Amino acid sequence: MEGDWEKKDSFTPDAKTADVKAEDFDALLLPGGTLNADAMRMDEGARKLVKAFLDAGKPVAAICHAPWILVDAGVAEGRKLTSFTSIVPDLKNAGANWVDEEVVVDGSLITSRNPGDLDAFNAKLIEKLS
């Protein structure tokens, strides 16, 4: 598995999560990948942003490991969702109703399992934005 856990690219953000407001955007896309999701779930601004989007009923799309952030944002409990298989115990322990489906929509929350689900994931996000 050498190389699977290494960061590949770095990008300079336009703003810090603490400075971003849900009312300035139509949707929030949470990136997949173990390292991305793990870093984001530790960021207080990211957690608050996820909660603000969901509280406002705005679409939040989370794929692969990104649903980890939902746990730390305190919004996974009682929600039907899916994710990469390795984080299933974390989601269930947080009170989520985890299902093994290509894409799951629970209100304004859209989740998918892995890159193989991208077509369905993207289609649901576009549908929510239409």
Query: Is 103 buried (19+), middle (13-18) or exposed (0-12) by CB count in 10 A?
Result: buried
Pairwise CA distance, residues 58 & 64, whole Å: 20
- The neighbour count for residue 102, using CB atoms within 10 Å, is 15
Q: Which of 65, 79, 113, 124 is catalytic?
A: 65
75 given a catalytic annotation: no
| Residues near 35 by beta carbon (within 8 Å), at least 6 away in sequence | 5, 7
Instruction: Return the SS3 of 90.
Output: helix
Question: How much is the CA Rg of the chain, to the nearest whole Å?
Answer: 14
Catalytic residues: 65
